[in-house]
């Protein structure tokens, strides 16, 4: 798959996203129900993620995971394991979890789904004003489960499907910093909206 690797920065040690989600979006007018319609052109990564996340096309998991693993494995050489960013919405298929699981297999790294947990539900981040307000809203919902039984200090890779404001990854990073078994925190996302 084609990529346009972009570095993303915040409280984590190193982060990248594979490409933009959308190339262009043209407003076409409102439909008969008054809902706006758009002619949206997505990047190859963005379209595959859209098909997985919103059309439940599980055949997109493999090429997306392969692209991330091949593209970023050498960048995250010290990562000891992979965790997904907990989803903000319940779905039959949780894209971030499924993608993180496949990326971990392709990078030959252990996968832990239960280290970073999310308590309850939160508002959709797009419905909250500023990035600071989003991070504050999320800080109370993430918690750590001490699932690492080995002693030591480990670098981890957090995988998210869609990077928007970065507030979810920022809040997760702040909570992960409190986990005494975590060293460096790396983040990776498949596509970004802003």
- pLDDT higher than threshold 70 for residue 73: yes
Going by C-alpha positions, the residue among 113, 116, 118 that lies closest to residue 103 is: 113
In this prediction, residue 102 carries a pLDDT of: 97
Q: Is residue 43 part of a domain?
A: yes
CATH number at residue 32: 3.40.50.2020
Q: Are 153 and 183 in contact (CB under 8 A)?
A: yes
Q: Is residue 1 part of a domain?
A: no
**Percentage of the residues of the chain whose pLDDT score is greater than 90:** 73
Q: Is residue 133 part of a domain?
A: yes
Domain count across the chain: 1
Q: Which domain holds residue 107?
A: 6-192
Q: Is residue 87 part of a domain?
A: yes
Q: Is residue 148 part of a domain?
A: yes
In this prediction, residue 35 carries a pLDDT of: 94
Residues 6 or more apart whose Cβ sits within 8 Å of residue 20: 4, 6, 43, 46, 191, 192, 193
Q: Which pTM value belongs to this model?
A: 0.89
């Amino acid at each position: 798959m084609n990529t346009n690797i972009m570095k993303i920065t915040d409280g984590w040690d190193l982060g990248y996203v594979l490409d933009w989600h959308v190339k262009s979006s043209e407003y076409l007018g409102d439909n008969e129900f008054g809902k706006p319609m758009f002619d949206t052109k997505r990047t190859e990564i963005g379209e595959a993620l859209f098909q997985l996340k919103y059309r439940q096309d599980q055949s997109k998991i493999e090429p997306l995971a392969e692209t991330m693993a091949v593209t970023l494995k050498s960048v995250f050489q010290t990562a000891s394991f992979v965790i997904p960013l907990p989803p903000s919405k319940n779905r039959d298929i949780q894209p971030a979890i499924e993608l993180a699981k496949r990326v971990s297999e392709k990078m030959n790294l252990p996968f832990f789904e239960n280290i970073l947990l999310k308590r309850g539900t939160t508002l959709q981040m797009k419905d909250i004003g500023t990035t600071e307000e989003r991070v504050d809203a999320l800080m109370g919902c993430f918690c750590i489960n001490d699932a690492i039984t080995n002693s030591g200090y480990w670098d981890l890779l957090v995988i998210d499907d869609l990077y928007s404001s970065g507030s979810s990854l920022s809040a997760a990073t702040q909570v992960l910093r409190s986990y005494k078994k975590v060293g460096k925190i790396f983040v990776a996302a498949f596509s970004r909206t802003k």
